Chains A and B, each alone.
Chain A
Amino acid sequence: MSDTALAIMSLLATIGFYYLSKWAYLYKKVFWLAPILAAPFAVIIFVLAMDIPLDSYFKYTHFLVMMLGPATIAFALPIYQQRKIISRYPITLTLGMITGLTLGLLSSWILVQLFPMPDELANSMLTRSVSTPFAMQATVKFGGIPDLTAMLVLMTGVIGMVICEPVFKMIGVKTSLAKGAALGAASHGSGTAKAYEIGQEEGVIASLTMIFTGVAMVLGAPLFATFL
Chain B
Amino acid sequence: MTSKINSVLRCLVQLAAICGLLLLCNWLVGIVNFPVPGSILGLAILVILLATKVIPESAIKTGANWLIGELLLFFVPPVISVLKYQVLLRQDGLTIVATVIIGTVIALVGTAWVVDKVFKLEKQLNQRLDRLIKGAAHV
Interface string of A56-68 (1 = CB under 8 A from B): 0110011011011
Residue from B47, B77, B82 having most chain A Cβ neighbours under 10 A: B77
Contact with B along A143-184 (1 / 0, CB 8 A): 000111011111110011001100110010111011101110
Which B residues lie within 8 Å of A43 (CB)? 76, 80
Q: Hey, what's the 0/1 contact readout for A106-149 against B, CB within 8 Å counting as 1?
A: 01100110011110010001001101110011000000001110
Q: In the complex, what residues of B have CB within 8 A of residue A182's CB? A: 107-109, 111-112, 115
| A71 with B102, Cβ < 8 A, contacts A95-B118, A222-B35 known | no
By the criterion CB–CB under 8 Å, are A148 and B108 in contact? no
**Known contacts A67-B74, A95-B118, A99-B111; is-contact A112 B22 (Cβ 8 Å):** no
**Residue from B38, B75, B80 whose CB has the most chain A CB atoms within 10 Å:** B75
User: B-side interface residues toward A, CB under 8 Å?
Assistant: 15, 18-19, 21-22, 26, 35-40, 42-44, 46-47, 50-51, 57, 60-61, 63-65, 67-68, 70-85, 88, 92, 95-116, 118-122, 126
Q: A70-B22, A83-B51 are in contact. Are A54 and B115 (CB under 8 A)?
A: no
Q: Is the CB of A95 within 8 A of B74?
A: no
Tell me if A186 and B77 are in contact (CB < 8 A): no
| In the complex with contacts A76-B64, A182-B112, A215-B40, A89-B122 CB distance below 8 A | yes
- Chain A residue nearest in CB terms to B44: A76
B126 cross-chain contacts in A, Cβ below 8 A: 88-89
Min CB gap A178→B, angstroms: 4
Given A75-B68, A99-B110, A171-B113, also A147-B22 (CB < 8 A):
no
Given A99-B114, A178-B119, answer yes or no on A129-B85 (Cβ-Cβ < 8 Å): no
B77 and A58 contact, CB distance less than 8 A: yes
With A129-B104, A163-B105 given, is the CB distance from A178 to B80 under 8 Å? no
Whole-angstrom distance from the CB of A192 to the nearest CB of chain B? 10
> Which chain A residues lie closer than 8 Å to B35 at the CB level?
222
Q: Contact check, B107 vs A155: say whether CB atoms are below 8 A apart.
A: no
Contact B37 A156, beta carbon cutoff 8 Å: no
Smallest Cβ-Cβ distance to B60: which chain A residue:
A77
Kindly state whether residue A74 has any CB partner on chain B within 8 Å.
yes
Q: Who on chain B is nearest to A66 by CB?
A: B74
25 A-B contacts, Cβ less than 8 Å apart? A14-B76, A18-B70, A18-B76, A65-B77, A67-B67, A71-B74, A73-B21, A74-B18, A75-B68, A76-B46, A77-B57, A77-B61, A107-B106, A117-B99, A121-B88, A132-B75, A147-B78, A147-B81, A150-B78, A150-B81, A151-B81, A154-B75, A167-B108, A177-B115, A186-B108
